[in-house]
Amino acid sequence: MARGFVKEGETPLEVAAQQLIKDGINVIHTIGGDDTNTQAAELSKYILEKHGGKVVVVGMPKTIDNDVYPIVQTFGADTAAEQGAIFFKNVVSESSANPRMLIIHEVMGRDSGYLTAATARKYRDGMKSAKFTGPGFTTTAKSRDIHAVWIPEVSLDIVEEGKRLRKVMDENGCVNVFLSEGAGVEDIVAEMEANGEEVPRDAFGHVSLAKINPGVYFSKRLAELVGAEKTLVQKSGYFARAAASNTFDRQLIKDCAKEGVASAIAGVSGCMGQDEDKAGTPIRAIEFERIKGGKPFNPELPWFKELLADIGM
65 flagged as catalytic: yes
pLDDT one-digit tens code per residue, 15-48: 888 888 889 998 989 998 878 888 888 888 888 8
- The full 3-state SS of 15-64, as one line of letters, equals HHHHHHHHHCCCEEEEEECHHHHHHHHHHHHHHHHHHCCCCEEEEEEECC
Banded model confidence at residue 1, pLDDT cuts 50, 70, 90: low
What residues contact residue 37 under an 8 Å CB cut-off, 6+ apart?
30, 57, 59, 61, 271, 288, 291
pLDDT one-digit tens code per residue, 173-231: 999 999 998 887 777 777 778 888 888 887 777 777 777 778 888 888 899 999 999 99
Q: Are 279 and 295 in contact (CB under 8 A)?
A: no
pLDDT one-digit tens code per residue, 241-273: 999 999 999 999 999 999 999 999 999 999 999
pLDDT one-digit tens code per residue, 89-126: 999 999 888 899 999 999 998 889 999 999 999 999 99
Q: Which of 228, 125, 118 is nearest to 178 (CA)?
A: 118
Catalytic residue among 34, 65, 78, 145: 65
